[in-house]
Amino acid sequence: MTDRITVEGVYKIFGKSPEEALRLMEAGDTKEGVLAKIGQVVGLCDVSLTVPAGSIYMIMGLSGSGKSTLARCVNRLIEPNAGRILIDGQEITGADEAQLREIRRTRISMVFQHFGLLPNRTVVENTEFGLKLRGVTVRERRNKAMEVLQIVGLASWANHLPHELSGGMRQRVGLARALATDADVLIMDEAFSALDPLIRSEMQDELLRLQRTLKKTILFITHDFQEALKLGSRIAIMSDGKVVREGTPQDIVLNPNNDYVAAFTRDVDRARLFDACSVMAQCKPLALNGEGKASSTVDRDAPAFVIDDGGRIAGVVAADALARLEQGLAIRSVMTQDYEMVTSTAKLSEVASIYRRDRPIAVVDQSGRLMGRIDPLQILARIGVPAQPPAAGN
Ligand SMILES: Nc1ncnc2c1ncn2[C@@H]1O[C@H](COP(=O)(O)OP(=O)(O)O)[C@@H](O)[C@H]1O
Ligand SMILES: [Mg+2]
């Protein structure tokens, strides 16, 4: 996966003498300290991050932590005082006005919290607005607008006015307008924050569904940690203009690394966050058409799955039956169907619901090939607050 957005050591100070603020920050002052000493507001302090192409990357933090400032630096609505921002390797912090206009028109689209729809224009006119500014012909922009309205499920509302739509639908228009420009990068600043919880959750599902085919690079800003966990493939957590933690949702929940982050992770439903893969143990299967004996590598204390030539599960041999294979019994005669099976992406809540005492759980890939097995104790360790932190890298 290539990197679409790279932010390197970006600073943004709001005030008349940013150099002085930068000097104080470099000497170790905090945002509060700088404000107290020279009355300048530190918006961003040495922010670096890398957004992989095609991912949903979350910027999360409390109000005032610098999220919108970062988003505005990325599309250069404001200029950082120091550092570099690159989009597909092109430095936008050095771009001139003409280049910037081009970048904003064709490569980056914004979706805002309060939709930013024009009240007297219809849904389709709002959707095609960016294309109109670009000078795209009526016919072409209308076709494009109808195409994206179809994608967000609003084609039949094309000729209605924004006030006739619900909040969720209006935000879909905002999304459609951003999609209409064909920009690869979407910046969504608290795009769902104004929506009612139920509608918000639907919009999150919708975005995830759309993203499976669109594969845009989305920089999504939120103050809601649950939203960050649900949508993000990676999350950068900000506090006082700094990125204080960065990683996958699972990384961050397992190892918050500091109290500020730990406060967000405490109430997370781990059973819905972690998948089967995250607690899977390796297992050495028996080959259905092999020589029929348990090889010396098979673990005698655990049941052994039997796989066919295609790697799919044919059955299982209970731990206490393994010895009988050594006595020359055929696999088929000791193999049973007493097991459960989950795909590697199944959440632990789902795995727990199929768990039956004394039935081993196999993990299979999307094509049904055996990947490993799950020890139920590992599920408990992962969803409870573990007495000992799990090893890093799991
Ligand atoms: N134009 C501005 N002038 C002065 N201070 C600003 C300006 N924009 C933002 N700030 C300050 O920068 C900090 C970060 O703001 P912002 O990026 O909007 O935070 P967030 O989006 O995380 O709520 C805040 O302390 C805010 O008051
Ligand atoms: Mg903001």
pLDDT at 357: 87
Range of the domain at 305: 277-383
The answer to whether position 92 is within a domain reads no
pLDDT value at 299 more than 70: no
pLDDT value at 306 more than 50: yes
Q: What are the DSSP calls for 253-303, one per residue?
A: HH---SHHHHHHHTT--HHHHSBGGGGEE---PEETTS-SS--TTS-TTS-
The answer to whether position 370 is within a domain reads yes
Distances in whole angstroms, Cα of residue 166 to Cα of each of 15, 188, 216 = 40, 19, 26
The answer to whether position 1 is within a domain reads no
Q: Which residues line ligand 1 (CB under 6 A)?
A: 14, 41, 43, 61, 63-69
pLDDT at 17: 86
Which ligand neighbours the alpha carbon of 188 most closely?
2
Q: Calculate the average pLDDT of the chain.
A: 90
Cα Rg of the chain (Å, integer): 26
Under 8 Å between Cβ of 276 and 362: no
Nearest CA to ligand 1 atom 20: 64
* Distance separating alpha carbons of residues 146 and 143, to the nearest angstrom: 5
What CATH number is attached to the domain comprising 282? 3.10.580.10
pLDDT band for position 297 (50/70/90)?
Answer: low
State the average pLDDT over residues 21-26.
90
Share of the chain above pLDDT 90, in %: 66
pLDDT value at 295 more than 60: no
Q: Which atom of ligand 1 is nearest to the CA of 65?
A: 22
pLDDT at 115: 67
pLDDT value at 201 more than 60: yes
Which ligand neighbours the alpha carbon of 72 most closely?
1
pLDDT value at 224 more than 80: yes
Beta bridge partners of 238: 61, 243
Q: What is the pLDDT of residues 97-123, one digit of tens each?
A: 888 888 887 889 988 877 689 999 999
The answer to whether position 298 is within a domain reads yes
The answer to whether position 37 is within a domain reads no
Among 102-116, 118-132, 255-269, which stretch is predicted with the lowest mean pLDDT? 102-116
pLDDT band for position 82 (50/70/90)?
Answer: very high
The answer to whether position 297 is within a domain reads yes
Nearest CA to ligand 1 atom 3: 14
Of 176, 174, 199, 201, the residue nearest 189 (C-alpha): 174
State the average pLDDT over residues 325-333.
86
Total of domains in the chain: 1
The answer to whether position 367 is within a domain reads yes
* Distance separating alpha carbons of residues 114 and 167, to the nearest angstrom: 9
| CA–centroid distance, residue 35 to ligand 1 (Å) | 13
Q: Which atom of ligand 1 is nearest to the CA of 31?
A: 25
Which ligand neighbours the alpha carbon of 67 most closely?
1
Q: Going by DSSP bridges, is the β-strand pair 304-307/313-317 parallel, antiparallel, or unpaired?
A: antiparallel
pLDDT value at 51 more than 60: yes
pLDDT value at 316 more than 90: yes
The answer to whether position 335 is within a domain reads yes
pLDDT at 389: 54
pLDDT value at 394 more than 50: no
| CA–centroid distance, residue 71 to ligand 2 (Å) | 9
